Structure 1
Amino acid sequence: MNDKLKPKEVLIETASRLFKVRGYCGVGLNDIIEESGIPKGSLYHYFPEGKEQLAIAAINNTKTLVMADIKRVFDSTSKLGAGSLIQALQAYVYELAKMFGAGGDPIGSPIGTIAGEKHSTSEPIRSACEATFKDWQAVYAERFLTAGYPQEQATSLATVFHALTEGGILLALTMKSGKPLEAIAEQIPSLFTEKIDKNNHTTY
């Protein structure tokens, strides 16, 4: 157990790590208790509703970690405009390629995996995943807006970019390679340079 973390934080961190490796259905509360070293009574003190409540806490923890990572990469490209946007999007996807490729160490747990497992059997988990996806997309949309895209197009492109990254992560995990994400990064300039102004005129 990490002595610097409080028991509740250790439980959330452990659950996130185990869900990442085994998926939601492959992890039991006894696994989390054994791995974390936190007594069963303490787990139920912090999470009286059990595994589902702990999973939601892990999802929210991952949301915060990933949002901070997105903003860090995006903020590293300080200039505004489409060129900076493309650089920021590519830099983020290349970083994902390193994290989710062979030998990588992704932060948190892949939310898409949990969403795929539980979207039809746990409404609280589905809602937590949906809120997480929306918050990430809001960060992307803000970047598109800053680069001069109109609101509707920025929102739409944020969804497209998010879908690309989620799909790329799944491929990278399955193939144990960052190459799918690298391929996405290489194609970003051709996918996100076209703008549509208020009069539906295409600009570049």
Structure 2
Amino acid sequence: MIVISIPRKSSKDKIIDTASRLFQRQGYHATGLNQITQESGAPKGSLYYYFPNGKEELASVAVGRTVDLVAKRIQDGLKRYDDPIEAIQQFIFNLATEFEEDFEKKQGLPVASVALETAHTSEVIRQRCQQAYEKWHDIFAQKLIEGGVEQEKATELGLVINAMIEGAFIIVITKKDSEPLRQIARYIPNLLK
């Protein structure tokens, strides 16, 4: 018999994962450290052990982890197609389909609520959110550059594409309907030609 050992998550990872989920679902100010500790199952003292600067430090780390997960998801989605127009369009269609499959489990915008709540009160978190958006814009831009789009134009389009997706998600969440994502996906060929 072969025994496969699945690594257990550390208390620190549990705290970060829980904080990421709660910040995304509830926002920064509505999420308390006691709730994070309780829902993570981590020992109470471990939060301040791993994050001695408290909630701001934890939020910055949680946003960083979310950034990397979303970046990988975008990269993996875009790799499925060589043509950048088709890749971006299909990526957005896939987001719409995933959203439809289980609305109640969908979290929506990965850093938007934290960015909006803290941009004027925490420079540390604001910078982390800025880095998030820049990283995601760059992934779309890189796909366009690989497809022959000039760098400056690709950089601008990367921002536009990500802004369209973020904006559509706000409408999708409020309507509980994925059609706004499908609408922007249908316009991608016109935008990128």
TM-score computed with the length of structure 1 as normaliser: 0.85
Give the structure with the higher percent helix: 2
SS at match of 2:52: coil
The 2-side partners of 1:102 and 1:122 are apart by 36
Task: Tell me the alpha carbon deviations over residues 10-68 of structure 1, each in whole angstroms, 9 at most, x when there is no partner.
Answer: 00110111112211111000110111111221110101111111111110111110111
Assess if the C-alpha contact under 8 Å between 1:101 and 1:173 holds in 2.
Answer: no
Contact 2:172 2:178 in 1 (8 A): yes
Q: CA 1:108–1:38 in 2, change beyond 3 Å: closer, same or farther?
A: farther
Q: Report the equivalent of 1:95.
A: 94
Equivalent residue, structure 2, for 1:56: 60
Q: Count how many residue pairs are aligned between Structure 1 and Structure 2.
A: 187
TM-score (norm 2): 0.90
One-letter code of the match for 1:155? T
Query: What code does the residue aligned with 1:41 have?
Result: G
CA shift in 2, pair 1:108/1:41, >3 Å? farther
Runs of 4+ aligned residues of structure 1 deviating over 6 Å after TM superposition are none
In the alignment, is residue 192 of structure 1 matched against residue 192 of structure 2?
Answer: yes
Q: Give the distance between the partners of 2:183 and 2:121, measured in 1 at CA.
A: 34
Q: Give the superposition deviation at 1:96.
A: 2.1
**Residue in 2 aligned with 1:196?**
none
- Counterpart residue identity of residue 91, structure 2: Y
Q: Secondary structure at the match of 1:135?
A: helix
Residue equivalent to 1:144: 144
Task: Give the direction of change, closer, same or farther, for the CA distance of 1:7–1:109 in structure 2 (3 Å limit).
Answer: farther
Instruction: Give the corresponding residue for 1:200.
Output: none
Q: CA-atom RMSD, angstroms?
A: 1.9
2:117 is matched with 117
Q: Which residue of 2 aligns with 1:23?
A: 27
Change beyond 3 A, Cα 1:109–1:157: closer
- Matched with 2:179 is 179
Contact 1:101 1:179 (C-alpha < 8 Å) held by counterparts: no
- Mapped to 2, the partners of 1:85 and 1:175 lie a distance apart of 29
CA contact (8 A) 1:62 1:107 kept: no
Q: Of residues 78, 81, 86 in structure 2, which corresponds to 1:74?
A: 78
How far did residue 98 of structure 1 move?
A: 3.2
Report if the CA contact (8 A) 2:24-2:107 is conserved.
no
Q: Could you tell me which amino acid in structure 1 is paired with residue 111 of structure 2?
A: I
> What's 2:157 paired with?
157
- The sequence identity of aligned pairs, in percent, is 39
